[in-house]
Amino acid sequence: MKKLTIITITTILTISLIHAQDVTIPKIGVEAPEFTAHSTNGVINFPSDFGDNWKILFAHPKDFTPVCSSEILELAHEQESFEKMGAKIVVVSIDPLEQHNHWKAALEMVEYKDRHTVKIGFPLVADEDHAIAKRYGMIHTTADVSQNVRGVYYVDPENIIRAIFFYPNEV
């Protein structure tokens, strides 16, 4: 019986380690992984559709949540500033496109922090199959796969990752 227990535990640990190694985070200084996905602005090809600009790939865990909503509204109010600096914003989450469209419409009616309403010009990308989240290492191995982590990738005009920032969902 002891032998069977040891074999079972060893097998489970081995499988867990193999699965954990499936999640890799692209490194700073490497080319940004490409993806094609549906978004609120139509089908996008990242990073090529954003040309010789800096790209900010921003991931959030869930539409219609207070923190995510405030983050998107802040980005929307600053999108003109980002444009002037030559930076394009792309937002991704595992929520479906239809939900992104409803959320975007709702956010565009909000007068946030005593500011006027704002149109969201950047794409909200649907990643329902988690392909983008996995490619960018946005799902922690111990986390529920139904939520990707909050993270930001800064990609330069040559499509090289220059900075990565992850922060907990509680923030």
- Residues with catalytic annotation? 68
Cross-strand partners of 36: 45
The residue assigned the tokens 């802040």 is 74
Alpha-carbon distance of 51 to 73, in angstroms, equals: 24
Phi and psi for 7 in degrees, rounded to 5?
-65, -45
Assess contact for 31 and 119: CB atoms under 8 A: no
Binning the chain into helix, strand and coil, the percentages to the nearest 5 are 35, 25, 40
Residue pair 154/56 in contact (Cβ under 8 Å)? The answer is: yes
